[in-house]
Amino acid sequence: MTVASARSAADPRSVLTKSDPQARPLRVCIVAPSLAIVGGQSINADRLMERLRDDPTLEISFLPHDPQLPGLFRMLQRIKYVRTAVTSVALLASLLRHLRRQDVVHVFSASYWSFLLAPAPTILISRMYGKRVILNYRSGHAEDHITRFKRTALPIFRRASHIVVPSGYLVDVFGKYGLNAEAIGNFVDLREIPYRRRRNIKPVFLTNRNFGRHYNVGCVLRAFAIIQRSRPDAKLIVAGDGEQRSMLHDLAKELGLENVEFLGQIAPDTMPALYDQVDVYLNSPNVDNMPNSVIESFAAGLPIVTTNAGGIPYIVAHNETGMLVDCDDHETMARYALQLLDNPDQVEQMTDRGRNEVLTRYTWPAVHAAWLKAYGPAPTKSA
């Protein structure tokens, strides 16, 4: 196979545009949370749009779930409950105005009420206009969401033209309810994440999840208390913020932790430097799907100890690319972390496998063609 034919095989739209000069760029509108609130959805949407805008076969636009309004309306958005109503009306108006001229609508989605406030109206308006709509569902709460909101969730899910999820875990969850979903993984930019080969590692640990209840950062603090009893020189860096901020700071004091640094919320573009400063990544959610931080740790060469919540076992193989523990099991997390400090061969083999996982599955070339296929063929200029 020639280089040109290999490129065409990897990028299905390159064949279409060459064979059909009448094809125009496919108009794709991405509807997702903005970076005003840093989280997995907003970060992944921003990264995806940045890459897709380089594709000449696509015309990418963006509508935020959380439009920032001017003047008096901005003041109303600062008032609890009123904020939800005003923002929802603004989103509906922008959807009705903007989606009419799109070919494909790609909507990012979480679960529960947030699904009803933004993804649900996006799907319904898109279908009203006869548009192809991709539901990009990304929440580890999917099964509970469907169970509790079955009368509203399932009919709206079925209105989507295509359901895309980040991991095989959610493919399996949707399959239980007769819904077909395709897994297209998150990706990392290896140019932005410095890789450092670890072998004789130092006891410098990182956790960087938001301080929401289901991310259970307290489990990492309890594990670190055990680690520090064996390794008084150990250090823990905690990046993140959220509703449990006060509780976690109080817990650190209650446990008598030393050498713990709470950094607060960290901008995505500063995370690579932070990965390079540490030698072990700790992650302890009770609910999760496909955390970026895990594949970013793979890319950075960090050994990982994580709970086996949700979709994590679909991307981390125990004793192969990371160490898995049961949710809330801080004692085993600490034991595995100490084990890594004393086993350079295990660290080297594990991080080499993790790095290979990123190279084969979680880079832009690995997902680009999949998104083009999901969006469908480019339309003709007369369309």
Could you tell me if residue 61 is inside a domain?
yes
Total number of domains in the chain: 2
Same domain? For 255 and 175 the reply is: no
Are 283 and 302 within 8 A, CB to CB?
no
Radius of gyration of the chain (CA): 22
pLDDT of residue 78: 61
Could you tell me if residue 177 is inside a domain?
yes
pLDDT of residue 73: 55
Per residue of the chain (383 residues), what is the pLDDT tens digit? 333 344 444 444 544 444 465 678 999 999 999 887 767 788 899 999 999 999 999 999 999 987 775 565 565 556 665 566 777 888 889 999 999 999 999 999 999 988 998 999 999 999 999 999 999 999 989 999 999 998 899 999 999 999 999 989 999 999 999 999 999 999 999 999 999 999 889 999 999 999 999 999 999 999 999 999 999 999 999 999 999 999 999 999 999 999 999 999 988 889 999 999 999 999 999 999 889 999 999 999 999 999 999 999 999 999 999 999 999 999 999 999 999 999 999 999 999 999 999 999 999 998 999 999 999 987 766 55
Could you tell me if residue 196 is inside a domain?
no
Same domain? For 49 and 72 the reply is: yes
Same domain? For 76 and 92 the reply is: yes
Same domain? For 141 and 277 the reply is: no
Could you tell me if residue 199 is inside a domain?
no
Please choose, from the candidates 99, 122, 102, 119, the residue with its C-alpha nearest in 3D space to the C-alpha of residue 111. 119
Same domain? For 31 and 139 the reply is: yes
pLDDT of residue 18: 45
Same domain? For 218 and 156 the reply is: no
Same domain? For 18 and 126 the reply is: yes
Instruction: Give 83-145 as a DSSP string.
Output: HHHHHHHHHHHHHHHHGGG-SEEEEEE-SHHHHHHTHHHHHHHHHHTT-EEEEEE--TTHHHH
Q: What is the CATH number of the domain that holds 82?
A: 3.40.50.2000
Same domain? For 256 and 169 the reply is: no
Same domain? For 17 and 153 the reply is: yes
Same domain? For 37 and 55 the reply is: yes
pLDDT of residue 15: 42
Same domain? For 48 and 183 the reply is: yes
Same domain? For 179 and 296 the reply is: no
The residue segments making up the domain with residue 300 are 204-360
- In the chain, the amino acid numbered 340 is L
pLDDT of residue 21: 58
Please choose, from the candidates 175, 189, 177, 172, the residue with its C-alpha nearest in 3D space to the C-alpha of residue 153. 177
pLDDT of residue 294: 96
